[in-house]
A and B are shown apart, each in its own frame.
Chain A
C-alpha cells in the first residue's frame, strides 16, 4: 500500500503491440537490414575497385544505426508522454495554440451586452481557427 503498484503502470508498454506500432517496428527492421545490405553491396563494389564506394560503405551502416537510435528514442519519448511526464524537451511546446485561443471560449454564456459581444468575437475567432486548421496540411504538390 505504501509503494505504488508496478502492475498499474505495466499496461503502458502495450501501445508497442498496437498494429500501428507493429508496422513501425517492421519498417525499422526492414530499413535496418536493407541499409546493412546496401552497405555490404557498396563494400563489395569498393573491393572491386570502385573508390567512390568506400564513402557509401561507411555511410549505409551509419544510417542503419541512425534508424535504430531514432526508433529507440521515439519509443522512450512515447513512454514518457504516456506516463505523464512528457519528453525531456521544454514544456513550452505542450499547447498547439496560445492560451485563450480556443473553441471553449465561444461556448461561455455571455451575461450582459459586453459579454455577448466578447462571446461573438470569440466565436468568430473559433470559426477562423476552424477554417485555418486545414492550412498547411500536406496536399501534395500544388
Chain B
C-alpha cells in the first residue's frame, strides 16, 4: 500500500512538472518559432504518462476508488496543474483514510 502510494506520488509529480514545462515553456517557444523543446518534452511526457497511467490505475484499484474518481485521476496526468490538485485531493479523501485503516499504520492496538 505504502509502496503503491509512493509510486503514484513520484509519477504524479514528475509527470506534472514535465507537463507544466511542456505547456508553459515548450508551447510558447513553439509558437515563437522554436519547436525543439516542445518536441522533446512532448515525447518525454508521452512516455512518462504511460507509466503514470499504469501506476495510478494500480493505486486506484487498491484504494477501490469508484470509477469516476479513477477516470479523473488517470486524466489528471494530461491537464497542466490538475495533476497536483488531484494528488492532494486523492491524498486527503482516499489515501490518508486507507492508510489510517491499514493495520500496519495503526499506532495503538485496540
Query: Which residues of A line the B interface, CB within 8 A?
Result: 24, 52, 55-56, 59, 62-63, 66, 70, 73-74, 77, 81, 87, 89-90, 92-100, 135-138, 141
Given the known inter-chain contacts A87-B64, A93-B102, A97-B97, please indicate yes or no for A136 contacting B92, CB distance below 8 A. yes
Number of chain B residues whose Cβ lies closer than 8 Å to a Cβ of chain A: 30
Tell whether, in the assembled complex, residue B62 and residue A89 are in contact, meaning their CB atoms are under 8 Å apart: yes
- Minimum distance in angstroms from A141 CB to a CB of chain B: 7
**Which residues of the other chain, A, contact B103 by a CB distance below 8 angstroms?**
92
- Minimum distance in angstroms from B106 CB to a CB of chain A: 7
Set A73, A93, A136: member contacting B64, Cβ < 8 A: A93
- Minimum distance in angstroms from A39 CB to a CB of chain B: 12
Given the known inter-chain contacts A70-B57, A97-B97, A97-B101, please indicate yes or no for A62 contacting B50, CB distance below 8 A. yes
What are the interface flags for B28-55 relative to A under an 8 Å C-beta threshold, 1 for contact and 0 otherwise? 0000000000010011001000100110
